[in-house]
Structure 1
Amino acid sequence: MAPGFEIKRQLGAVRGLFGSAARDDEAVRAAAGETALRLVRHVEEHGAGWFWETDRTGRLTYLSAKVAQALGTPDSPALGAPLTALFQMDGDNPDTERTLAFHFTARTSFSDYAVRAAQGDAADRCWSISGRPRLDAFGQFQGFTGSGSDLSEKRRSEAEITRLALFDGLTGLANRQRMRLSLDQTLAQSRRSYRSISMLLLDLDRFKAVNDTLGHQVGDLLLQQVAQRLQRVVGESGLVGRLGGDEFQVMLPEESNRDRLGELARTIIAQLSQPYFLAGSSVTIGCSIGVAIAPEDGHDAETLVRSADLALYAAKADGRGVHRFYHENMLEGAQTRKALEDDLRHALERGELQVVYQPVVATGDARIVGYEALVRWQHPVRGPVSPADFIPIAEECGLIEPIGEWVLHTAIAAARQFANHARVAVNVSPIQFANPAFPAVVARALAAGNLAPERLELEITESVFLNESASTDAMFASLKRLGVRLALDDFGTGYSSLGYLRKAPFDKIKIDQSFVRGAAISGSRNAAIIQAIVTLAAALDMETTAEGVEVQDEIELIRGLGCSHIQGYVYGRPMDAEAAVALSRKGFAQPGGYRISRAPRIRTLRWARLQAGDQSGEVRIRNVSTTGAMIDGIAFPEGAAQFPVQIELIEGQMFNATVRWAHDGQAGLAFDERFNLERMHPPATRPRR
């Protein structure tokens, strides 16, 4: 074969090889193009992305179908329209000061511009678009090519994130962060304009009991209804927020009038205290409010909130259900309370707490039927601390249950030594009552002290009925199954609904001392109230105890009204266990104190004959009045009250009387009928007035 022919053959083979490669490249490019087109269509149909292209004049020559449909109408299709006529920059989120028209005129690229539809039903939608100029092979401008993506869902997500960050998820109110941001901004503005801002801090009273007894789901429903009521009361005049738990806050810009603020606070308390009907139960809570005003109560947010918090604490300390304005001495008081709380946490283990016992006396014969156990705190530095000061602190800081359990064990141990089967009464905090484990605590204490259950009386306040529920009834049933007695304490000062008396298994009603004090004074209506309570208790087969009896006039009044028991200083102040045991062995209590309305008495010293049953003897009359006399010279047994006698006040004439008290050879007599003192003194010998 000639060399030239071989070279030609080889060149032909090479050309054939390259021709085959070129054809393969074209096939690959075609396949890649089809793949790219398929991917573009997939993005357009199923994704958030879309594409567009314009001619040299800026009119759309291509627009993904889903966007074209959203922007165009049959009369005015998007395709063929100027891009700048369909989109406008998003004024809420401007990413640049330059406009689309600028870039089209300058023929410069742009990226991720937030735009909205310029008109039509899609105006609420938001997109992000990017574009770059398109040039031909000779570098001549042919138009713009670009892409876009839907921002609507992203914006909704961002809005939801913002909402979650600034609003309370349960109630929809502003949350702590938003309230703080708004307060900071408003305070900054007020400093420039010298305007006032008011802050109301609210705390729901007895909300924890709802959560504990009815469950957190019902508690959440309650918070939602509270938020609705609060928002209705405040309206557009302020910003309402929930800080967490059962704590709410109201910020009122440009408001500093104390009268208006006080009226608003009272309205809020009244509205939030109305009953709620949740999960088949009627729930009643309360509300306490602290009020602080900037700038006098604080120039910055932290100080203003602290002032409102101190005012709120004062409101709760004053009995809850009230509002209080901040004043400077509250800070000192808060520091004192914090110190007391710190000391109280160690008081029990250090032996600083003591239980004392006040006698409960039968009205008819002054027989001691029991004692009320009362806790006292002897602080090593401050001295005696009033229970009115440390019991609320114990309830707030979680110490009331361990202290209450210790009091229960201590009182039961003392009661084991009381003579004549005297009972012991122990106060029960609403927090203890709300704990489902409380009956087990009582059962363990009774077993440890080996005390008969009927000798233990649990005193419960009316506040436990503010959240009546099946758990309240179950608690009463559990305690009664133990065999203990139940007393309703401080009746008439709290909720005072007669409905719960119909079904609650009380053995006794304790009439609050506010009705007892002054009842013996002429013109007081307290006696009528006591009479009504006694009648009600008798109809329900319950005993009654009048609390806070301090003067002897009240003994006679309460006896006459039919009250079964008396408790108060007139029969003894709270005493230690040893003194209580000794007094219980005597069996009877002697009245002390004084009279405030007794009949005028004439001092005298004369002998008179006394008939007591079948015994007769001589006694000395020390003083005498129209209603009674004091005698000595006869040894009545201690506590011989209500013993009938006859005394010869006038020679040859015996008068019926009753022994009211007897002690150390002396006795007080009450005449059955009023006696005319002038009969003891003939006209010639009457004493001068």
Structure 2
Amino acid sequence: RARIRDADGRWRDMEGTYTAMLSVPGVNGVVLSLRDLTQLKAAQSELHRLAFYDPLTGLANRQLFKDRLTHVVHRARRSGESAALMFLDLDGFKRINDTLGHDAGDDLLCQVAQWLEGCVREEDSVARLGGDEFVVLLSRISNSEAAGKVADTILRRLCQRIRLNDHEVGITVSIGITMIPHDSEDAGTLMKYADLAMYRAKELGRNTYQFFTPAMNIKAARRLLQQEELATALEGDRFVLHYQPKIDLANQRVIGVEAFLRWHHPEKGLVSAQQFITLAEETGLIIRLGELALRQACIQVQALERAGFEHLKMAVNFSVRQLTDSGFLDMVRRVITETGVTPDRLEMELPAELLNEDPRLLRELLVSLNDLGVCLILDDFGAGSCSLVALQQLPLDVIKIDHRFIRDIPYNVSATDVASAVIALAKKLHLTVVAEGVETMQQLTFLKSAGCAQCQGNLFSYPLDEDALIGFLIRQYEKPLIS
């Protein structure tokens, strides 16, 4: 085989044979028979690249990384040298993909790949497993402390804002780490352990790293069982709504209810949403649960109408994960159409952290919901950072004071000051104020004097099932709700 430069100056790979014909009259030399292999070699190289490298980022793919990990495990077993495996997952990548499009998501993945390669040595390996999942293999590392320093470097490098499609977005990453051969000498088990540690990092608030511990195995088994139970409950229609009345302080009458999702567990009884909502978010079941809750709420509104309560409004809670799902708006329109509910009877409670999303896309969503005739409530106001500009520019109708401020009234001066300020601000912006979590007469007295329009909480009623709610609504005409 040989490489020959052609007339255009390009190198070509050739294969051939030669025949010595030095004694043949008229030839007196050597005859070469050559075949151009350039295209064949290029095709073979491309096939190799497709088989072992990620076509988007150029990083090693799952298959090549598995081979490299197996090699490092064998070497560590023989020599006793330590190595480390990191499993990385971008926080909130799906939301970026859904809101800005797949091209923007691809650009982000390519940039992350470059950043990761810049954080490790040449002898280490970086691979993309698929989606927003990356792995890093530190082939030789002195101890877990050294692995933690590399993880810190990666966190600092990736925790920044990047411009995608004329939008500036912030990204963070959660990292799980397992040590080789200390945690295991099996490549598949090590991948599982690093994955478990990564999920633990997400549970602790994201943008951090966690080392694998044996306790994670037990927790993972329990989590898998809970996930299966949750999916089975969803298929078996084991979820119901309970309703907490919302009181108008001016006329002391129920003007609406807030729907709370409950799970009828075969062993634990009635389980509140707080105990399963995080798992539902992580597994994606939250999308189906959201539609189920909205549909049940719409049906209940119509049942209340038939019972003679024509003017009650029904509030349904939604998370950021649900609201930023690409199919959310279509789902709302479909449920309203299929149930026949009057849209202005519905209230949607939006978490305050929703204001941290892309302003343009958020406005488009809320304007579309407002155009449907749905009332929009900003929940947990005051719990975190909240843009006053957003309050002015977004089509909000109501704000709810976070229950943690109400809880400390009247004994905490800061709590009373915040509540008073929120009520005054809402009036200036022509927004209705609701105080949730009202449990004592002292709290109620303060809120009435401060000009709060509506309240809800255990002082008036706990969340009630359908039959108990009807009874409560009837009794309000027999005796005053506030005495």
Same-fold status (TM-score > 0.5): yes
In the alignment, structure 1 residue 544 sits paired with structure 2 residue 430:
no
Which letter maps to 2:427? A
Counting only pairs closer than 5 Å after superposition, residues 31-430 of structure 1 correspond to structure 2 as 128=15, 130-131=17-18, 136=23, 145-148=31-34, 155-234=41-120, 238-255=124-141, 258=144, 261-262=147-148, 264-265=150-151, 268-269=154-155, 271-362=157-248, 367-416=253-302, 417=304, 419=309, 421-430=311-320
CA–CA separation in structure 2 for the residues paired with 1:196 and 1:408: 53
User: Matched residue of 1:314: which SS?
Assistant: helix
Q: Kindly tell me: are residues 161 and 369 of structure 1, through their superposed partners in 2, closer, same or farther at Cα, counting changes over 3 Å? A: same
Match for residue 584 of structure 1 among 447, 467, 473: 473
- CA drift at 1:424: 1.5
CA–CA separation in structure 2 for the residues paired with 1:255 and 1:365: 70
Q: Which residue of 2 aligns with 1:477?
A: 367
Match for residue 460 of structure 2 among 565, 571, 584: 571
User: Matched residue of 1:537: which SS?
Assistant: helix
Q: Which residue of 2 aligns with 1:109?
A: none
CA–CA separation in structure 1 for the residues paired with 2:327 and 2:38: 54
Q: Kindly tell me: are residues 519 and 344 of structure 1, through their superposed partners in 2, closer, same or farther at Cα, counting changes over 3 Å? A: same
- CA drift at 1:240: 2.4
* Preserved contact between residue 262 and residue 270 of structure 2 (Cα < 8 Å): yes
Q: Kindly tell me: are residues 286 and 69 of structure 1, through their superposed partners in 2, closer, same or farther at Cα, counting changes over 3 Å? A: closer
CA–CA separation in structure 2 for the residues paired with 1:135 and 1:564: 109
* Preserved contact between residue 456 and residue 485 of structure 1 (Cα < 8 Å): yes
- CA drift at 1:574: 1.8
Task: Figure out how many residues of one structure are paired with residues of the other and give that number.
Answer: 477
Q: Kindly tell me: are residues 481 and 176 of structure 1, through their superposed partners in 2, closer, same or farther at Cα, counting changes over 3 Å? A: same
TM-score (norm 2): 0.83
CA–CA separation in structure 1 for the residues paired with 2:142 and 2:381: 39
User: Matched residue of 1:569: which SS?
Assistant: coil
Give CA deviations for 1:458-509 in whole Å, capped at 9, x if unaligned. Answer: 1122454554265543322221111111112234556644443332211122
* Preserved contact between residue 57 and residue 109 of structure 2 (Cα < 8 Å): yes
User: Matched residue of 2:219: which SS?
Assistant: helix
CA–CA separation in structure 2 for the residues paired with 1:349 and 1:217: 35
Q: Which runs of 5+ in 1 are unaligned?
A: 1-47, 51-63, 71-121, 589-635, 642-661, 663-689
TM-score (norm 1): 0.60
- CA drift at 1:354: 1.4
Give CA deviations for 1:385-444 in whole Å, capped at 9, x if unaligned. Answer: 442343333344443333222211222233342747332110124444335554454345
Q: Kindly tell me: are residues 226 and 449 of structure 1, through their superposed partners in 2, closer, same or farther at Cα, counting changes over 3 Å? A: same
* Preserved contact between residue 310 and residue 330 of structure 1 (Cα < 8 Å): yes
CA–CA separation in structure 2 for the residues paired with 1:371 and 1:508: 14
Give CA deviations for 1:569-593 in whole Å, capped at 9, x if unaligned. Answer: 34332221222232233449xxxxx
* Preserved contact between residue 353 and residue 376 of structure 1 (Cα < 8 Å): yes
- CA drift at 1:532: 4.5
Q: Kindly tell me: are residues 488 and 336 of structure 1, through their superposed partners in 2, closer, same or farther at Cα, counting changes over 3 Å? A: same
User: Matched residue of 2:348: which SS?
Assistant: strand
CA–CA separation in structure 1 for the residues paired with 2:407 and 2:147: 36
Give CA deviations for 1:152-197 in whole Å, capped at 9, x if unaligned. Answer: 6655544443333332221222222222222112222222222222
User: Matched residue of 2:179: which SS?
Assistant: strand
- CA drift at 1:244: 0.8
- CA drift at 1:225: 2.7
When structure 1 is superposed on structure 2, of 397-406 and 367-376 the one drifting more is 397-406
Match for residue 403 of structure 2 among 486, 508, 513: 513
- CA drift at 1:292: 2.1
User: Matched residue of 1:168: which SS?
Assistant: coil
- CA drift at 1:525: 4.1
Q: Kindly tell me: are residues 265 and 143 of structure 1, through their superposed partners in 2, closer, same or farther at Cα, counting changes over 3 Å? A: same
Give CA deviations for 1:94-149 in whole Å, capped at 9, x if unaligned. Answer: xxxxxxxxxxxxxxxxxxxxxxxxxxxx9x87654644555748xxxx98654455
Task: Give the RMSD, CA atoms, in angstroms.
Answer: 3.8
Q: Which residue of 2 aligns with 1:468?
A: 358
Q: Which has the larger radius of gyration?
A: 1
Which letter maps to 1:390? F
CA–CA separation in structure 1 for the residues paired with 2:142 and 2:399: 46
Q: Kindly tell me: are residues 252 and 437 of structure 1, through their superposed partners in 2, closer, same or farther at Cα, counting changes over 3 Å? A: closer
User: Matched residue of 2:160: which SS?
Assistant: coil
CA–CA separation in structure 2 for the residues paired with 1:413 and 1:430: 24
